[in-house]
Chain A
C-alpha cells in the first residue's frame, strides 16, 4: 500500500470566487452569495506521485472550518479534468471538470472542526487520464448544488493557516514511489522555488516510505513579517497583528504631484488641470483638494469633494487615464471672485487592471 498526503502548499493553490476570484485570502468560501451567485472554492495539490492508471483504494479531501457559523450549504465537488492543472492565480472556474463528483452538504460550522470528503472516484478519473503522469499537480473545485442565497461557509486557506488548509490523502495499491526531487527537503530551503517546509512533501519514516505531509509544530515562514507591539511574528497568521507581511501586497506609493487650478467666476464656471504620468495603465490614485478665494487657506479634503459657500456650491473631481490624471474644479451659483483649487495627487504604482 502506498499513500500520498499533502496540504495545499502555496497561496495560489487555493482560492474562491465570491463576485471576483481571490487566491490570497485567509479563508475560502463555499455556498451562495446574497444575490444567488455560486461561491465556489478550488484546491490544488502539488506533485501527486501516483503512476498513471493506478487503482485508487481511497482518497479524501479534508477541509477545516474557519469560523463558527450556523448557515447551510449544498455543493458538489469535482476534480479539475486536466493532466497537470496550473495554479489558481487566475479564476479556474472555466476549467474542465471531471465526470466523477462527490456531493457534500454541511450545516453549521465550528472553528477548526475538520470535514472529510471522499474523493476516490474523482482521483481515479484523473489518474486514469491517458496523459496523467506521476508528480503532476491535481485540482478540485466546488459547484453549488442548491444552497440558499446568502449561505456561505468558510474554511481555512493556505494564507490563513498552513497547517489547517485543505489536505488531500490518497491510498493506492502497489509500491510507493519516492518523493519528487523538486520537493525534497534539500530543495525546500529555497523559498522562491519550493513550498513551505511546514507542509512540504517528504519521505515519511514509515516502513512503506510513503509520501506524506509532515507539519512541524511551529511552521517556518519564508518571507518578511514585522509584528505589531506585543505580537509574535512567528506565531500569528493574522495580517491584522502585523505591520508588514510579505504574503500581502501593499499600495506602492511613488509620487505626489500638486495641480493648481484658478479661474474667474465672472468668466468661467470651471477649470481643469492635467498631470501626465505616462504609466501606460490606470494607476491607483488618491487626490486631496483645498478650495479657497484669495490667499491659500482651508483644509485639504478627500477628492472627489463637494462643498458649499454662502452663494455657491463647488465641486472637485478627477479621472484617471492610462497617461494622465485630470482634475476638475467647478462652481455653481453667484460669485464674482477668482476661485482656486489646489489638488494634491498621490499616485501608486498599482495597476487597476481595468
Chain B
C-alpha cells in the first residue's frame, strides 16, 4: 500500500523535495501544537534568589513548557537560563539584576525560578506556552 502524505511546500520550493526544510508542513513529521498559553504577572521580592513563580496548569499530564519574561518597567524580553541584560560594555561584560534560572513542570504546576539581585521589588510578566506533554 502506498504511503499517503500531506505536504505544504514553502514558496519557491518543490512539493516533491525530499528535504523537510523545504516544507511549511509535512505529515511525516509532528508539529509543536500550542496546547495552552498564558501570561503570569508576579512581583519578585527584593534581593532574593531562588524565587518560584507557580502557575497551576490544570492539565492531567506533565507538560513541556517554554516561557519568556519581561520586567514591567523595561522594553526587553529575556529567556530562561539567562539574565535581563541592562548594562553592557565591551570591557565591562553584560550584567542585569534579574536572572531567569529555569522552567520546571510537574503534574500540577509550571514553575518559573528567578533571582532578583536588585534592592527593590520587581514587577514581572511571564508569557508561557505549553507545547506538548512529557508523558
Contact = CB atoms under 8 A, between A and B. Distances in A.
Interface of A: 16, 18-22, 24-29, 33-35, 37, 39, 66-67, 150, 152, 154, 226, 228, 239-240, 242-245, 248-251, 263, 267-272, 282, 284-285, 287, 303-306, 315, 317-322, 326, 328, 330, 332, 352-354
Contacts of B82: 303-304, 317-319
B70 A25 contact: no
The 6 lowest CB-CB distance pairs between A and B, nearest first, are A20-B38, A304-B82, A19-B55, A33-B56, A248-B33, A29-B58
Nearest to A37: B56
25 contacts: A18-B58, A22-B36, A22-B58, A25-B36, A37-B56, A39-B58, A154-B60, A226-B25, A239-B33, A240-B132, A244-B31, A244-B33, A251-B34, A263-B90, A269-B90, A270-B88, A270-B89, A270-B93, A315-B94, A317-B78, A317-B83, A320-B68, A321-B76, A328-B85, A352-B70
Chain B interface size range: 35 or more
B81 interface: yes
Given A39-B58, A245-B33, A270 B85 contact: no
Contact of A319 (B32, B85, B93): B85
B18 interface: no
B49 interface: no
Contacts of A16: 58
Interface of B: 6, 25, 27, 29-40, 54-60, 68, 70, 75-85, 88-94, 108-109, 125, 127-129, 131-133
Contacts of B55: 18-20
A249 B34 contact: yes
A16 B58 CA distance: 9
Interface centre among B58, B79, B91, B127 (most CB of A within 10 A): B58
User: In terms of DSSP, what is the predominant structure of the interface of chain B?
Assistant: strand
A315 B81 CA distance: 10
A278 to B, nearest CB: 15
Interface centre among B35, B40, B56, B81 (most CB of A within 10 A): B56
Nearest to A282: B77
Given A34-B108, A243-B31, A226 B90 contact: no
A39 B56 contact: yes
A306 to B, nearest CB: 8
A352 to B, nearest CB: 5
Contacts of B35: 24-26, 239, 248
Contacts of B37: 20, 22, 249
Nearest to A24: B36
B39 to A, nearest CB: 5
B76 A320 contact: yes
A304 B69 CA distance: 13
Contacts of A303: 79, 82
Contacts of B76: 319-321
A243 B108 contact: no
A27 B108 contact: no
A352 B60 contact: no
Nearest to A302: B81
A19 B79 CA distance: 20
B81 A304 contact: yes
A315 to B, nearest CB: 8
B133 A354 contact: no
A263 B91 CA distance: 10
B109 A250 contact: no
A353 B42 CA distance: 16
A37 B53 CA distance: 13
Contacts of A272: 88, 94
A67 B68 contact: no
A121 to B, nearest CB: 29
A332 B93 CA distance: 9
B127 A353 contact: yes
Nearest to A283: B77
A172 to B, nearest CB: 35
Nearest to B128: A20
Given A16-B58, A22-B36, A284-B68, A317 B85 contact: yes
B94 A317 contact: yes
A282 B90 contact: no
A57 to B, nearest CB: 35
A125 B22 CA distance: 58
Contacts of A270: 88-94
Contacts of A268: 90-91
